[in-house]
Amino acid sequence: MNDQSRFFDEMYAGQSEARAPYASYAEWFDSEDLDDLRRKSTDAETFFRRTGITFNVYGQAEAEERLIPFDIVPRIISGREWSKLTRGIEQRVRAINAFLYDIYHRQEILRAGRVPKELIDRNEAFLPQMIGVEPPGGVYTHIVGTDLVRTGEDDFFVLEDNARTPSGVSYMLENRETMLQMFPELFSRIKVQPVGNYPTSLRRSLAACAPTACDGDPTVAVLTPGIHNSAYFEHAFLADQMGVELVEGHDLRVVDGRIAMRTTEGYKPIDVIYRRVDDDFLDPLNFNPDSMLGVPGIMDVYRAGGITIANAPGTGISDDKAIYSYMPDIVEFYTGEKAILQNVPTWRCSEKDSLKYVLDNLPELVVKEVHGSGGYGMLVGPAASKKEIAEFRKKLEAKPGNYIAQPTLALSTCPILTAKGLAPRHVDLRPFALMSPDRITLTPGGLTRVALKAGSLVVNSSQGGGTKDTWVLEE
């Protein structure tokens, strides 16, 4: 096991002295019977299984469904800490949206030399079909998940931006529901800001982005690739919680210049589609002609102002990991302010000097694919074998432009409940921001992912990570 003493422990300042946000919880925990807590931990797993909260793991026999492990020790953030994070995330989301508008219109940031033109021109996430398109309300990034890591008392960094189809919000909501059922006395004792109004806020925010073709109350629907998608549970969950229809591509068609869904009374126009289908599969007439998941002609309706697609097609250019390295410049260019939340230092392997540094220091670095996600296709140098490093070196030398590298951060830890009691494990945080034409709404907290294996820095559920309920205190 790694020496945990060099990492910032969010709960304890010393061996047993709880930090201020955790003071009331630590007092409660110390008065509880460990065997009772372990039983409740097992009960939580049973609850999740009964609710059907699973995700699919691809690349394995039968693409098995798994339960994401849930830890009953909450992660607690003070109101002061959350206030700073809120300001930083709002600033970043506004800058990303402005960047997307600019990239698909005048490209002023490229003319100014603040972002290299070739990063856009050669980027598979850039959609020429979006050039000149005016999204309803000027909103590209209706839902953004910002991955944050912490290294000290006041040291938060943005690890990556998720602006395409960020997932995980269903776990944030179900984690809280589980904790409320299992530990109601804790919520009487500790004033925690609620998260349960997220579905209402999501529907309201999406409806506020309805196109000009909308007549009356906007009709919203969630577009899913279907039951075999790894996040299908979340698609169905959110549609149910918002009280809107869950549809697949074959349920939709173009009717009189609008997108309409099949109902028992014929086809009914839709105003806003919250799509969980990737760009390439969205419209076989405009993108991948073999796609069976999308809606033929939806891009033509979108360009004509007949439908809102959330998030807008082409938003992936903003969460590309090479673009990420320019985010401090992007924030300053569009807001005129220095970034409140800092990036993790990043080496772009497409640059000769950076590549040399990365190759010379592979055992100490984390190397990621520019378009990668879910913890796949990356190298965590300190945890890799000599053979793994040698194999990764060959891939890096063959296609350096496909990778960026970052230092191995001393991620903060938060305790989990183990057979022997509390034990520190590394965590990250994904808050969810909703953008409409006149506001940005953040749900207080977000999804805390935790690396359940001692010493591991990989928190992704697909790589064996778990989740926690995230508490933001009312202060």
Question: What are the residue ranges spanned by the domains of the chain?
Answer: 4-344+409-472
228 CB-contact burial (10 Å; exposed 0-12 / middle 13-18 / buried 19+): exposed
* Spatial distance between the Cα atoms of 298 and 257, rounded to a whole number of angstroms: 9
DSSP characters over 361-411: TGGGEEEEETT--TTTT-EEGGGS-HHHHHHHHHHHHH-GGGEEEEE----
For residues 123-127, average pLDDT:
91
pTM of the model: 0.92
Closest CA to 429 of 90, 165, 53, 171: 171
Say what percent of the chain tops pLDDT 90. 79
**286 pLDDT exceeds 90?**
yes
**pLDDT tens digit sequence for 161-219:** 999 989 999 999 999 999 999 999 999 999 999 999 999 999 999 999 999 999 899 99
Q: Are the CB atoms for 325 and 404 separated by under 8 Å? A: yes
pLDDT digits 0-9 by tens, 21-49: 999 999 999 999 999 999 999 988 888 87
Query: Residues with Cβ < 8 Å from 18, sequence gap 6 or more?
Result: 11, 12, 25, 26, 27
pLDDT exceeds cutoff 80 at 147: yes
Angle between helices 352-360 and 386-398 (to 10 degrees): 170
Closest CA to 119 of 370, 454, 365: 370
Residue 217 buriedness (CB in 10 A; 0-12 / 13-18 / 19+): exposed
